[in-house]
Amino acid sequence: MSSPRNPPTKTDVLQLSQTGPLEAALAARSACTDPPTLRQMAHCAAPAGQAPILQHCLSHGVQIDYLILSRALSSHSKPTLQALFSAGLDPNAHVQAHLGSVIDTAITLNLPNDIIAYLLQQGADPRSARERGGMPNLTTAACTGNATLLRLLLKHGEMVGGSRALHLAARAGELEVARVLLEEGGADVNEVAFAAEEARPRWWRSGDDEAGAPLHFSAAAGKTDVVVYLLKKGADVGTRDLKGRIARERAEESGYPEVGAALCGL
């Protein structure tokens, strides 16, 4: 005669919350002598993309908290995120104060473009980072070289003006991003960041005090292809940064004489 099977443990139930199916997880919880709470199950289901289990927990009184929200984002799963929206998640809710809104967090974590597009379709405001004083989402996208994401953000109302996205894309050598910003976003190729009397936002690195136009940034970083492109788009070689230097001088000071030479006769 076989011995009776031991009842499932709390660990077993939480493991099933990650692997499913829902019926198995609920049956194990019912048979467990020390069952986990539904919140604990939701915390396990969210990062694993177990939408049915997460939806069950939320429909039985579990409130969406930071862990559930951040872990659901990390799942890269639209059904899992839909479970949150079905439970009443505000598409512009803040994940945490330092991370900003749902869309801010998703962009900062470099989530796939289809997830960003889904959040925008749900009503997420792409300007939320800018409105709370953080680095604009357009600028974050520009720094990662994600031209597709730039187009998504522009389509949903994010603005190039004041973002300094072109400056940072120029420094990073992101030529395609520079093209999108100038040719589709209407960026000013000669915008100086920042005017002497203009306060710098808190996200602007203190080491960038010299600022300047996008041409200064690309020249100082030795990004010849971007320098050439900016010149074709009308960049003014005579524009001076806040220390009075033109782009050629910035290139030479940074150890890129070939870029300085390219700018010398212009």
Looking at the domain assignment, is residue 53 inside a domain?
yes
For residue 237, pLDDT over 60 is answered with yes
Looking at the domain assignment, is residue 145 inside a domain?
no
For residue 214, pLDDT over 50 is answered with yes
What is the 3 state secondary structure string of 20-58? Answer: CCHHHHHHHHHHCCCCCCHHHHHHHHHHHCCHHHHHHHH
Looking at the domain assignment, is residue 69 inside a domain?
no
Structural domain including 43 reads: 9-64+76-87
Query: How confident is the model at residue 154, as a pLDDT?
Result: 95
Phi first, then psi, for residue 94 (nearest 5°) are -90, 135
Query: How confident is the model at residue 1, as a pLDDT?
Result: 43
Looking at the domain assignment, is residue 266 inside a domain?
no
Quick one: average pLDDT of 181-206? 78
Query: How confident is the model at residue 260, as a pLDDT?
Result: 85
For the chain, how many structural domains are there in total?
Answer: 1
pLDDT band per the 50, 70, 90 thresholds, residue 22: very high
CA 86 → CA 54, 55, 57, 60, 169, distances in Å? 11, 8, 12, 13, 37
Which pTM value belongs to this model? 0.85
Query: How confident is the model at residue 60, as a pLDDT?
Result: 97
Cα separation, 136 vs 166, whole angstroms: 12
For residue 210, pLDDT over 90 is answered with no
Looking at the domain assignment, is residue 131 inside a domain?
no
Cα torsion for 231, 236, 237, 238, to the nearest 10°? 180
Quick one: average pLDDT of 73-95? 94
Residue recorded with tokens 């009443």: 88
173-201 CB burial, b ≥16 within 10 A, e <16: bbbebbbbbbeebebebebbbbeeeeeee
Structure tokens given for 166: 């072109």
Looking at the domain assignment, is residue 31 inside a domain?
yes
- The lowest-confidence range among 1-10, 220-229, 234-243, 254-263 is 1-10
Looking at the domain assignment, is residue 117 inside a domain?
no
For residue 166, pLDDT over 70 is answered with yes
pLDDT band per the 50, 70, 90 thresholds, residue 207: low
Question: Average model confidence (pLDDT) for the chain?
Answer: 90
Structure tokens given for 126: 């792409």
Looking at the domain assignment, is residue 22 inside a domain?
yes
Query: How confident is the model at residue 241, as a pLDDT?
Result: 87
Nearest-5° angle of CA 69, CA 87, CA 90?
60
Query: How confident is the model at residue 196, as a pLDDT?
Result: 57
Query: How confident is the model at residue 211, as a pLDDT?
Result: 76
**Whether 41 contacts 71, CB under 8 Å:** no
Cα separation, 155 vs 157, whole angstroms: 6
Quick one: average pLDDT of 223-238? 95
Cα separation, 211 vs 217, whole angstroms: 8
Residue-wise pLDDT tens digits, 97-113: 667 889 998 998 899 99
- The lowest-confidence range among 18-27, 90-99, 107-116, 246-255 is 90-99
For residue 58, pLDDT over 80 is answered with yes
Query: How confident is the model at residue 246, as a pLDDT?
Result: 93
| 3-state DSSP assignment of residue 177 | helix
